[in-house]
Structure 1
């Protein structure tokens, strides 16, 4: 058990020993009264241990039911295996001029969008997703949202640009977006085909910022043996920088050499996203237990197996 959503109800448990002590006091006073005012036979019956034990059992069951109800009202939470906490996933996508190269079919950018769509479609229902794009600067293409269909729609509407590669700006904005919803696990997935050569933040500064915010960054390098086919843009894949970003932030680096391996990388990233078991309420278990105890108490009191005369 990891905690209680409404712990103030647990204060009521302190009253249970008080109720028990008051009950014991009342029983003793009743026994003394019986000895003083009743006939000898009645007094002997009042002092019979078996007879006195019977109402004790019923009262103990009532106290147990009360304790179960109070714990249930406190809403106990436990992490259940197979039920995961939602994660904020931000895709940071390079849209610079070199992403128009046709060594990936139909282009690098379109292949990256198709692969990212696979990842988005495989996220869990409680996950949030968002998209940041960058070239000479960085901007949000889809704000962090649980509406994955909307995010996928915005993904496929992204168009390439002719600018340079502001990799650090894109990563910094992605970290800000991932961190915009508190108390959730966050992850950034960064794809680029070139070295950072523009923008305000360097890749090293953005990686340090991600580490400071405890946001792991998974980096994907896109390139091939004929990296500039179909475009006059020049790009040199800086794998060392992408590896360093992943290493600094606690993520991983992946290299994609064609559209097939790129799709496989993004599909596999779904399983790499760090998750924690989701705290799940088990208060109904305590309420059902309290009901069962009360039914048993009523049966012992009024049913065929009653323990009172």
Structure 2
């Protein structure tokens, strides 16, 4: 739908009928004066009246259209073009807790996740900005939101697991905050975790509300295997298992308009990321067309000039 940035300028269109009325009023006065001054002159003028009157009407129409185009152009109209999209702010929130070192994925869960994230970053639209957040016992920024995808890829490569627990709420809150740091764009977070929230200062519910208030769409990916996986042992030599909290991840995706995906190995994880670019709905960009109305106004003015002073001009 067409819109205007400065619609108050459209009030200038009210001048068009006033100018039309003024023209005809002035024309009547001029003809009356001509009759009083010289009936002979008026008779001669009447003989040429048809052609002259037609040109006057054309010139009047061109002048009024030119004025109208100027006021419409000053209102700065814009239209959404179907094939022109704004870029999106895409933030990857990666779980780097100890369980992400489990070897059921090759080379491990974190390595497979990094490879899949890198693949998606390379396939994003040129206009998209990218950032990376990591979380374990807390959350931190690994790569700030930027259009420089090569820089982000270099930062992604250097990410290593810090062990510890899983703070999904902290990771989501920081990712959502980074997503809205550059306004006027679609805000998307892609959160990957293989555990349950058992650390941090912000609960997943609080982070979800934070993301919703700021219009952030969250896609979640649960990393797991068909069977329980041991990733480490505690101080008493008891095995530690990665426990995926699917309900939390599903709730986050459902409440923010995203999608939850379940990965069971590196190939399914790669497939999930390869399809995510198509799931990100980018907003249609409003394209200004004020120049078109100023161009039309110029054409009207030049056409009137040529009619008035051109080779066949008689006015």
Superposed pair shares fold, TM > 0.5:
yes
Equivalent residue for 2:135?
A: 134
Structure 1 pair 7–147 and aligned structure 2 pair: CA distance change class (3 A): farther
Equivalent residue for 1:29?
A: 29
CA contact (8 A) 2:231 2:241 kept: no
- Deviation per CA, 1:139-188, whole angstroms, max 9, x where unpaired? 11112222222222211111111110011111111112222233322111
Equivalent residue for 1:268?
A: 275
1:194: how far off? 0.9
Partner secondary structure for residue 103 of structure 1: coil
Please, what TM-score do these two structures have when normalized by structure 2?
Answer: 0.89
Partner secondary structure for residue 241 of structure 2: coil
Structure 1 pair 238–230 and aligned structure 2 pair: CA distance change class (3 A): closer
Equivalent residue for 1:160?
A: 161
Which sits farther off after the overlay, 23-32 or 209-218? 209-218
Query: In 2, Cα distance between the equivalents of 1:21 and 1:5?
Result: 30
**RMSD, aligned α-carbons:** 2.2
Equivalent residue for 1:16?
A: 16
Aligned residues: 308
Q: How does 1:103-114 map to 2 (within 5 A)?
A: 103-114=104-115
Partner secondary structure for residue 186 of structure 1: strand
Equivalent residue for 2:185?
A: 184
1:46: how far off? 4.3
1:13: how far off? 2.8
Which sits farther off after the overlay, 89-98 or 175-184? 175-184
Query: In 1, Cα distance between the equivalents of 2:232 and 2:270?
Result: 22
Query: In 1, Cα distance between the equivalents of 2:26 and 2:46?
Result: 13
Q: Does 1:119 align with 2:125?
A: no
Q: How does 1:247-286 map to 2 (within 5 A)?
A: 247-286=254-293
1:270: how far off? 0.8
Which sits farther off after the overlay, 124-133 or 2-11? 2-11
| Structure 1: stretches of 5+ with no match in the other structure | none
Partner secondary structure for residue 113 of structure 1: helix
CA contact (8 A) 1:132 1:173 kept: yes
Partner secondary structure for residue 270 of structure 1: helix
Equivalent residue for 1:234?
A: 241
Which sits farther off after the overlay, 127-136 or 68-77? 68-77
Equivalent residue for 1:144?
A: 145
- Deviation per CA, 1:258-294, whole angstroms, max 9, x where unpaired? 2122111112111111222110112232233223323
Which sits farther off after the overlay, 45-54 or 148-157? 45-54
Please, what TM-score do these two structures have when normalized by structure 1?
Answer: 0.90
Equivalent residue for 2:307?
A: 300
Equivalent residue for 2:198?
A: 197
CA contact (8 A) 1:178 1:186 kept: yes
Partner secondary structure for residue 136 of structure 1: coil
